[in-house]
Amino acid sequence: MNIKSLAEEERPREKLLIKGKQALSDAELLAIILGSGSKSESSITLAQRILSSVNHNWNELAKLSIRDLCKFNGVGKVKAIEIITSLEIGRRKSLQQALKKESISSSKDAFNILQPIIGDLMIEEFWVIYLSRSNKILSKEKISQGGITGTMVDNRLIFKHALELNSVSLIISHNHPSGNIQPSNSDMQITQEIKKAGSLLNIILIDHLIVTQTSYFSFADENLL
Q: What is the pLDDT of residues 9-40, one digit of tens each?
A: 568 888 888 888 888 889 999 999 998 887 78
Q: What is the pLDDT of residues 95-126, one digit of tens each?
A: 666 555 567 889 999 999 999 899 988 889 99
**The predicted structure's pLDDT at residue 101:** 56
Helix (H, G, I), strand (E, B) or coil at 218: strand
Task: Print the domain residue range for 90.
Answer: 3-95
Q: What CATH number is attached to the domain comprising 46?
A: 1.10.150
**The predicted structure's pLDDT at residue 100:** 59
Query: How far is residue 103's CA from residue 13's CA, in Å, rounded to a whole number?
Result: 40
- Residue that finishes a domain, picked among 77, 95, 113: 95
The verdict on residue 224 lying in a domain is no
Query: How far is residue 166's CA from residue 162's CA, in Å, rounded to a whole number?
Result: 6
pTM: 0.61
HEC string of 6-37? CCHHHCHHHHHHHHCHHHCCHHHHHHHHHCCC
Q: What CATH number is attached to the domain comprising 148?
A: 3.40.140.10
Domain count, the chain: 2
Query: How far is residue 168's CA from residue 186's CA, in Å, rounded to a whole number?
Result: 25
Q: What is the pLDDT of residues 152-178, one digit of tens each?
A: 788 999 999 999 999 999 999 999 998
Please, which pLDDT band fits residue 8 given cuts at 50, 70 and 90? Answer: low
Tell me how far CA of residue 205 lies from CA of 26, 123, 149, 199, in angstroms.
41, 24, 24, 8
**The predicted structure's pLDDT at residue 4:** 52
Does one domain contain both 61 and 115?
A: no
The verdict on residue 223 lying in a domain is no
- Residue that finishes a domain, picked among 95, 123, 158: 95
**The predicted structure's pLDDT at residue 97:** 64
Q: What are 191-200's contacts with CB under 8 Å, separation 24+?
A: 191/219, 191/224, 191/225, 193/155, 194/153, 194/155, 194/158, 195/225, 197/155, 197/158, 197/159, 198/159, 198/162, 198/170
**The predicted structure's pLDDT at residue 130:** 95
Q: What is the pLDDT of residues 35-82, one digit of tens each?
A: 888 778 888 899 999 999 998 888 889 889 999 999 999 999 999 999
